[in-house]
Structure 1
Amino acid sequence: MQLQPSSEIFEKILYNNRKNNLPEIDVSPTQGKFLSMLAKIKGAKNILEIGTLGGYSTIWLAQALPEDGSLITLEFNPAHVKVAQENIKMAGVEDKVTIIEGSALDTLPTLHHKQAEGFDFIFIDADKPNNPHYIKWVLQLASPGALIIADNVVRDGKVVNEDSEDANIQGIREFIDILSSDTRIDSVGIQTVGLKGYDGFIISRVK
């Protein structure tokens, strides 16, 4: 608690999520701060997030942006978008955040055509079976030196089970295969244990 003091605004955001029956699958407070610190260390100015939910991680990342920074977050569920808009306004970062509603596999190609400047920080935290598709688009949208962070890649150690029929596990395994074979990117896995149990991030850097 000394390194991670409680935050009234984030407590209000989580309360609003629960009140609106959003699934409690946000990153933990420690993970949120970790993402924010990575964005600050990187000096990120253009952030892309795939998977908004109620905007908890969105807000952590937006708070790390400089005054002229911006964040685009993609969310499929209209009910989640509504709650995220409320939370983002509550946190006072609405001027930096744009939510794009719809399937990420539909909206990512539009970003490819519209985004003049590449994203320098990308957080992937959506439906895991589509991670292999997301990374292929993300690599086209990332600027040289960009950081790409993917959440939920350990899943209580189940990702090592190559015989698993779980679509989430299969998606993560294929995602890791792509990262390990693509020469455009360098990656490392980080295991985490905390409020959300035993899981982890993959942190990648675009060359």
Structure 2
Amino acid sequence: MTADWAHVDRYLVDTLVGHQDSGVLEANAAAGLPAIDVSPPQGKFLYLIALSIGARRVLEIGTLGGYSTIQLARAVGKEGQVVTFEYAPEHARVARENLDRAGIGERVDIRVGAALDTLPVLAEEQPEPFDLVFIDADKVNNSNYVQWALRLTRPGSVIIVDNVVRNGGVADADSTDPAIRASREVLELLAAEPRLDATAVQTVGSKGWDGFAYAVVLGED
């Protein structure tokens, strides 16, 4: 089925998404970055989510080469800002080149280092609340990232956690895979947290079988 899913993805890109950012993926591959970017249809979906909620401030945890960052930066517009965290300095360097080449580099603040070390620094700055948080980093810390996202958002903000289905492994309560166990943990956190209302959507495509969690920060009743 994966070949069929990839074939459909190609059709969707040709028909709806376009190839304007294919150079970003090529640059990432040339720099030796792992091929774990969101797919082009998923990138366009992120752009449309940010656009539809009128996001002006976006927090991204996991920059890689900046493919998803570019989509988010386009959505926030010239007056908006994306703050993105990347653990690896080389990945951040490639991302900066890609962002500048795309003409939206001034909208993006790349912070290098382990996110659990740099998120407290961001919180100390007392930034304006973020409208959207996209979490796509080391999976074992997803629950920690959601907790930080709650501190840095407001009622009505959206939190998206990528890669939670894990080729269907998320349904296996006996799995010892750390990423699967982390996916179950973060989904259970989203379900139990009274400040959030959430769902998860399975996806198939060129990246295989996976999915994302989508949560909205609630206000007081």
Pair 1:139-2:150 in alignment: yes
Pair 1:78-2:120 in alignment: no
Equivalent pairs: percent with the same residue? Answer: 49
Pair 1:37-2:48 in alignment: yes
**Distance in 2 between residues matched to 1:107 and 1:160, nearest whole Å:** 32
> What is aligned with 2:7?
none
> What is aligned with 2:28?
17
SS of the aligned residue for 2:166 comes to coil
Pair 1:65-2:76 in alignment: yes
**Distance in 2 between residues matched to 1:44 and 1:58, nearest whole Å:** 13
> What is aligned with 2:167?
156
**Distance in 2 between residues matched to 1:115 and 1:94, nearest whole Å:** 23
Higher helix share: 2
Write the deviation string for residues 164-190 of structure 1: whole angstroms up to 9, x where unpaired. Answer: 111111111111111100000000111
Q: Which of 12, 17, 25 is residue 4 of structure 1 equivalent to? A: 17
Amino acid at match of 1:126: A
Pair 1:124-2:135 in alignment: yes
Name the TM-score, length of structure 2 as normaliser. Answer: 0.91
SS of the aligned residue for 1:123 comes to strand
**Distance in 1 between residues matched to 2:22 and 2:37, nearest whole Å:** 12
Pair 1:106-2:122 in alignment: no
In the TM superposition, residue 66 of structure 1 has moved relative to its aligned partner by 2.3
**Distance in 1 between residues matched to 2:18 and 2:152, nearest whole Å:** 35
Gap runs ≥5 in structure 2:
1-13
Q: Which of 169, 174, 178 is residue 180 of structure 2 equivalent to? A: 169
In the TM superposition, residue 120 of structure 1 has moved relative to its aligned partner by 0.6
> What is aligned with 2:10?
none
Write the deviation string for residues 84-125 of structure 1: whole angstroms up to 9, x where unpaired. Answer: 111011111111000000000001111111133110100000
> What is aligned with 1:49?
60
Name the TM-score, length of structure 1 as normaliser. Answer: 0.97
**Distance in 2 between residues matched to 1:115 and 1:14, nearest whole Å:** 34
**Distance in 2 between residues matched to 1:139 and 1:76, nearest whole Å:** 21
Amino acid at match of 1:98: D
